[in-house]
């Protein structure tokens, strides 16, 4: 009886894990994303500590599927997400938003720091690349960053939409770049010297 009970417990834990995880990448799934983002935004409203999200999209990913096949595309996704997971904090939530798009929830994080994180992920991927069929493929990604500070009346969907707008801007700026929220490139004087150094070092 005890052995059967332990087997059932293991099966339940496995089922629970897969109910909140994307099977291919191991990242959290969309349902978990929505629930957790709402929870973190509520935490921000109570504590006053900001949270941020990073929306990432792998550039020209369709070309990998077209050139090397979907199996190679899946391998590329595993490689990219594994690399990114090594370069975020343990408290951050890596989520699969859909297809080759990924969303990172960064609790208790300011915008400047979130931009630094996005840039780190971008640079790591650009340097790492990928080998498919004995051929090195250069991979890049574009990033949109958005902050919630508790003062605004954003919903979770609106916060994601803002990040998506900046991701769209990054794509149309030439890809392989990060576009932040609330940081106009033409008015950097509004930032403190420490923030400017943090952004551009």
Q: Which of 6, 42, 100, 158 is catalytic?
A: 100
- Which phi and psi (to 5°) does residue 66 adopt? -70, -40
Q: Does the annotation count 100 as an active-site position? A: yes
Distance CA(95)–CA(27), nearest Å, equals 5
Residue 124 in contact with residue 83, Cβ under 8 Å?
yes
Catalytic (active-site) positions = 100
């Amino acid at each position: 009886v005890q052995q059967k009970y332990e087997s059932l417990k293991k099966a339940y834990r496995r089922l629970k894990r897969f109910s909140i995880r994307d099977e291919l990448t191991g990242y959290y799934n969309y349902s978990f994303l929505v629930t957790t983002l709402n929870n973190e935004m509520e935490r921000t409203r109570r504590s006053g500590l900001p949270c941020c999200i990073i929306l990432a999209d792998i550039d020209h990913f369709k070309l990998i599927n077209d050139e090397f096949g979907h199996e190679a595309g899946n391998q590329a996704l595993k490689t990219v997400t594994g690399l990114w997971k090594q370069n975020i904090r343990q408290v951050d939530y890596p989520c699969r938003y859909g297809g080759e798009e990924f969303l990172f929830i960064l609790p208790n994080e300011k915008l400047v720091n979130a931009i630094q994180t996005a840039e780190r992920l971008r640079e790591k991927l650009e340097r790492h690349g990928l080998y498919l069929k004995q051929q090195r493929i250069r991979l890049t990604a574009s990033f949109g960053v958005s902050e919630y500070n508790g003062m605004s009346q954003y919903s979770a969907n609106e916060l994601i939409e803002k990040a998506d707008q900046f991701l769209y801007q990054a794509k149309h700026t030439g890809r392989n770049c990060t576009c932040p929220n609330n940081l106009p490139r033409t008015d950097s004087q509004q930032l403190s010297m420490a923030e400017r150094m943090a952004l551009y070092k």
